[in-house]
Chain A
């Protein structure tokens, strides 16, 4: 049986919160999620070190789906799908 590779969902909205300090990126993400439809995919860019720890925890608590967390050059990209 061949494994089916899931293609990553297309990002609907990108929130560039680089330069914003804790808890700014999370607050910007929450605002974007509120303005989105279920199924939308939001990418948050954050240069704040606490956010890559806090945002996945918030996503779990809020019942959304963490698609990916990638550390790029000096910032993190956290991709989340609105699930409810």
Chain B
């Protein structure tokens, strides 16, 4: 039982980030940091609007919230930020500092947005196709946000 648990910890956590709103990216950053703290490797694959949020010139911007947040959700998120919650980008930087976190941009999404790696924040380690992502994912869990 313990062996099985330990084996699971060695498998990476694989996060596919699609949404580019600050709330979903914050949730993804917290999942990443938690796994990194436990020594679990994390592979992050950026697609579509999540990739757009990682653009060098846009990463610090307000990326809005998921529609279900509504006006009340906006107030709660703003309150937490005012109370000192650090941005998702900063949580990811800390997670990279703490553990093994590899952040890759989906090559198709790069084409879609007509950008190259120089347009992306240094948090992004590289560009890869979906097959490479699956190969690196091993038997670890796959989460789509």
A and B found bound together: yes
Roughly how many angstroms separate A27 CA and B80 CA in the complex, as a whole number?
19
Interface of B is mostly: helix
Q: Does the CB pair B33–A27 fall under 8 Å?
A: yes
Q: Does the CB pair B30–A22 fall under 8 Å?
A: yes
Interface of A is mostly: helix
Complex: chain A residue closest to B84, CB-CB: A19
Chain B interface: which size bin?
A: 10 to 19
Q: Mark B74-88, 1 if CB is under 8 A from A, else 0.
A: 000000100111100
Task: Tell me the total A-B contact number using a CB cutoff of 8 A.
Answer: 30
Q: Does the CB pair A61–B38 fall under 8 Å?
A: yes
Interface size on A, residues (CB 8 A): 13
Q: Mark B94-113, 1 if CB is under 8 A from A, else 0.
A: 11011000000000000000
Contact of A58 among B38, B80, B86, B95 (CB under 8 A): B38
Roughly how many angstroms separate A20 CA and B33 CA in the complex, as a whole number?
14
Roughly how many angstroms separate A26 CA and B37 CA in the complex, as a whole number?
8
Take A30-B98, A31-B98 as given contacts and tell me if A23 and B34 are in contact as well, using a CB distance cutoff of 8 Å. Answer: yes
**Could you tell me which B residues sit within 8 Å of A by CB distance?**
30, 33-34, 37-38, 80, 83-86, 94-95, 97-98
